[in-house]
Amino acid sequence: MPQNNVDRINHVCLIILAVVAVTAALIYTKSVMTLLIFSFFLYTVLATGIGFIDRYVKIQRWVSVTLMMFLMFLLSVVFISMMTNSIEEFVRGAKEYQSKFLEFVHWIELQASIFGVTIDTSIAQKFSRLHLFSYAQGLTASIFTIIGKTFVVFIMTMFMILGKQKAEIQNEFLAEIHSKISKYITVKIWISLMTSGAFFIILTAFQVDLAIMFSVLAFVLNFIPSLGSIIVTVLPLPLIFLQYDISAKSFIIFILLSIVQIILGSVLEPKLLGEKLDLHPVTVLMSLLFWGLVWGLPGMFLAVPITAIVKIILSKIESTEDIAGLLAGRLPGKS
């Protein structure tokens, strides 16, 4: 076998071993690395806002830092308060939702019996015996866990900001990463806000229960590429069907929510994010699967910006430029 082929095989094997080793390290350090990366991405947003204030408002840097940190803290408090109130509202109506569900199952059973079809309702009976309050308590405990982790992220972000001496990043490589990630997060925030606002208007107009909770979830889950938009559209459906049965109103609500996601999630968002990060849709999907396997739900939130950073790094190394091109959907040898 020619020496060139042997060297190429050895090179590929080394890359595979390195990927496996790095993946194992990422899984082992999940609890720390996710917080660190969340802090970094939050830092990019805050640093952009602080830079904007420094350029157009003549105030001391510590004042602009304090203003941005307070704004993020205030938004987090509002978000957590809305979710807590939504959970309390759900707990108060838990018994009513259970009874509506049983009535809905009984209606389906009657409709099926007309056509001579027998439906096993044992699952529904088990659902009626569930203690939803205990599940809500577990969810509340999870929220308090998130609050604790959010506090740690804020502390780490604060140290990052305080450690930054200059308003602008001088290193060209770091500046490119900061610019693209901040643009990605900015686009995501605006798309998520528009989606959340549209969901709130639609659900409130039709007087759907827990409209605030579903709107907040629409904002949060929209940060998960592709899969998140599907989840936030389907998530309210069970409650809508329980509230309005299988009626024209239920399908109108579903169609309106779907139209919002098609316009914002399937047309506008991929166009904007594709231009900002230069990532192929298949690359986005594969990164979502990979980081979801490695870090679970936090990995899904971080998948796209991490992949964008990896692509930038690969594009700066001569031997991996072709790989960076593949992530952007460009075949080797083509511009």
- For the segment 34-48, the average pLDDT, to the nearest whole number, is 82
Residue 131: predicted pLDDT: 55
Residue 189: predicted pLDDT: 83
Q: Which of 88-92, 129-133, 219-223 has the lowest mean pLDDT?
A: 129-133
Say which residue, 252 or 85, is predicted with more confidence: 252
Cβ atoms < 10 Å from Cβ of 218: 30
Cβ atoms < 10 Å from Cβ of 101: 17
Q: At residue 170, does pLDDT exceed 50? A: yes
Looking at the chain, the number of H-run helices and the number of E-run strands are 15, 0
Q: Which of 87-91, 221-225, 255-259 has the lowest mean pLDDT?
A: 87-91
DSSP string for residues in 268-323 = IHHHHHHHHH---HHHHHHHHHHHHHHHSHHHHHHHHHHHHHHHHHHHTSGGGHHH
Whether pTM > 0.75 for this model: the answer is: no
Cβ atoms < 10 Å from Cβ of 109: 15
Question: What token pair was written down for 91?
Answer: 């707990």
Query: Given its phi and psi angles, is residue 333 left (phi above 0), alpha (psi -120 to 50 degrees) or beta?
Result: left
Question: What token pair was written down for 204?
Answer: 């409130």
Q: Which residues contact 278 (CB under 8 A, 6 or more apart)?
A: 311, 328
In the chain, the percentage of residues whose pLDDT exceeds 90 is 4
| Contact (Cβ atoms closer than 8 angstroms) between residue 264 and residue 195 | yes
Residue 324: predicted pLDDT: 78
Phi and psi, residue 295, nearest 5°: -120, 5
Cα–Cα–Cα angle for 196, 263, 42, rounded to 5 degrees: 45
| Contact (Cβ atoms closer than 8 angstroms) between residue 70 and residue 49 | no
Q: What is the dihedral of CA 233, 238, 239, 242, to 10 degrees?
A: 140
**How far apart are the C-alpha atoms of 281 and 273, rounded to whole Å?**
10
Residue 29: predicted pLDDT: 87
**How far apart are the C-alpha atoms of 58 and 325, rounded to whole Å?**
42
**Residue 85's pLDDT band (cuts 50, 70, 90):** confident
Q: At residue 87, does pLDDT exceed 80? A: no
- For the segment 313-317, the average pLDDT, to the nearest whole number, is 79
Query: Given its phi and psi angles, is residue 296 left (phi above 0), alpha (psi -120 to 50 degrees) or beta?
Result: left
**Residue 221's pLDDT band (cuts 50, 70, 90):** confident
CA atoms within a 13 Å half-sphere pointing along the CA-CB vector of 240? 24
- For the segment 36-62, the average pLDDT, to the nearest whole number, is 77
**Residue 167's pLDDT band (cuts 50, 70, 90):** very low
Residue 137: predicted pLDDT: 56
Cβ atoms < 10 Å from Cβ of 164: 16
Cα–Cα–Cα angle for 315, 299, 231, rounded to 5 degrees: 115
Average pLDDT taken over every residue of the chain: 77
pLDDT tens by residue, 97-155 = 667 777 776 777 776 777 766 666 555 555 555 555 555 555 556 666 777 777 788 88
Q: What is the DSSP letter of 254?
A: H
pLDDT tens by residue, 242-276 = 777 777 888 899 999 999 988 887 778 777 765 56
Q: At residue 172, does pLDDT exceed 60? A: yes
